[in-house]
Amino acid sequence: MLELTEATRKRIRELQELADKAEGDDGARLELRRRLREESPEVVAGCSDSARSYRRLLAERSSGGNPLRKEAISERAGRMALELAGENPTPLEVLLSERVASLWVLVELQEALFAAWYYKANATSPTFVLQMARLQESAHRRYLAAIKTLAQVQKLQGPSRVQVNIGGNQINVSR
Amino acid sequence: MAWERRGGNLYYYQSEREGGRVRKRYIGAGEVAEMIAHADETIRRTRAERRERARTELEEAKGLALAGAELHQAAEILARAQMVAAGYHRRKGEWRRRRSA
């Protein structure tokens, strides 16, 4: 379930090629819009399924086999994805929010692993520390990139969510 | 670490690395040497186990990171396609709206 299907991969490759062309070609941009409208919901849904499976896998690994802990991590990451997606999210916003939540679990997991090994005095070789630090850095970079991409796409969607304060209560209204 | 037979008796030696060269150090024979040899073996085994555990954990961490790599790339492509379709282009890492869009 983590792996994307061959059909999804093929469509993503095609969208990538079309996006490359569309950066300087209005005709290709119109074609890209049409393809995104017609095909992207299915492709995005496939990717979102994988993102959820990935999040569950990471939660399971982070829990160290403790079912309660696994549930707690999963729940917290799920809520984070929901909050980030906001009210009435587009399928792409859902996917990007899922990805941020997954990467958050990955970053937390790697930090915990790294700390556990690092603080065992004389227990860890410099090579191990270096490789672990590189992994951690790469996960962190991906996490930040994922947040930035989500913010860019949400900005593109415009202010679809209006926040109103009535009688001290914060209410979110969708346009 | 090694036992060496000399004149019918077993003698225990430890090996040490000094400036890139391995030097043998005489420890002794008999019960005390056996105890030291046993301790050396335990330390060696513990270190090997710890190295193996670290290697396994590192491989697992790499595997987990790699498992999400394809998804990460796919999401970036989809987001980029969305931005380009909306008339944006990337300039020096920043998204800018095309004038003609």
The predicted-structure confidence for A50-67, as pLDDT tens digits, reads as follows: 888 898 889 888 888 899
Please name the residues in contact with A58: beta carbons below 8 A apart, sequence gap of 6 or more: A73, A77, A102, A105, A106, A109, B64
- The answer, yes or no, to whether residue A98 has pLDDT greater than 60, is yes
| Chain length of chain A | 175
ipTM: 0.81
Q: How many CB atoms lie within 10 A of CB B47?
A: 13
Q: Alpha carbon of B96 to those of A103, B77, B100: distances in Å?
A: 27, 17, 12
Domain ranges of chain B: 2-97
Q: Do B78 and A44 touch (CB under 8 A)?
A: yes
At A137 the pLDDT is 93
**B71 in reach of chain A (CB within 8 A):** yes
Instruction: Look at residue B76 in the predicted model and tell me its pLDDT.
Output: 93
**A174 pLDDT more than 80:** no
Percent of chain A with pLDDT over 70: 87
Question: For residue range B38-81, what is the model confidence (pLDDT) as tens digits?
Answer: 999 999 999 899 888 888 888 988 998 888 888 999 999 999 99
Which position has the higher pLDDT, B78 or A169? B78
Window 39-78 of A: residues touching B by CB (8 A cutoff) are 40, 43-44, 47, 50-51, 54, 57-58, 61
Distance CA A21, CA A33 (A): 13
Average pLDDT, chain A: 84
pTM here?
Answer: 0.78
- CA–CA distances in Å: residue B99 to residues A26, A57, A100, B88, B94: 12, 44, 31, 9, 15
pLDDT at A172 over 70: no
Inter-chain Cβ pairs, chain A and chain B, closer than 8 A: 119
Distance CA A117, CA B36 (A): 29
Beta carbons of B61 and A103 less than 8 Å apart: no
